[in-house]
A = this chain, B = another copy of it.
Amino acid sequence: MEKQHNLSKNQKIIFDLIDKSHEPLKAYSILFNVQKKGINAPLQVYRALDKLVEIGKIHKIESRNAFIACQNSSCQISKATAFSICESCEKVSEINNSKLSKYLSNFVDETGMKYSKYNLEFFGLCKKCKSK
């Protein structure tokens, strides 16, 4: 069973914004959007983002410096993330594929190192963009 995290005021404001968005949001775009709600400083945004990432409610798309809500309701895989990124329209989706996550979670490299976490970003053209 997933641990309940009661979000604080700022965390909730920022999570709701990201969750409603259909695209990854950048920190300063979030800041701009929540200023009407009394969040005025970058640090307030980054602190909430850090916490939300930590508890797996959102993920950071590293190659884009942007954040999206986790698409896996149970969020068991917050330390094992995979994304599909369209290089044309910049659409990003979280990949939820159990074979892939098992394969990567069990991966052991040549040195015998076993990993506790991974992040995978795939790039290509989405259906829409490919058919153009």
Contact = CB atoms under 8 A, between A and B. Distances in A.
Contacts of A109: 84, 95, 97, 122
A114 interface: yes
Interface stretch (A8-16, A19-27, A29-37, A123-131): A123-131
Given A97-B109, A103-B103, A109-B95, A118 B121 contact: yes
The complex is assembled from copies of this chain, and their number is 2
Contacts of A7: none
Interface in A90-128: 93, 95, 97, 100, 103-104, 107, 109-127
B123 A116 contact: yes
8 closest A-B pairs by beta carbon, nearest first, are: A62-B62, A117-B123, A115-B124, A115-B122, A120-B120, A118-B122, A116-B124, A62-B63
Interface of A: 62-63, 84, 87, 93, 95, 97, 100, 103-104, 107, 109-127
12 contacts: A62-B62, A62-B121, A63-B119, A84-B109, A95-B109, A97-B109, A103-B103, A111-B126, A115-B124, A116-B124, A118-B120, A120-B121
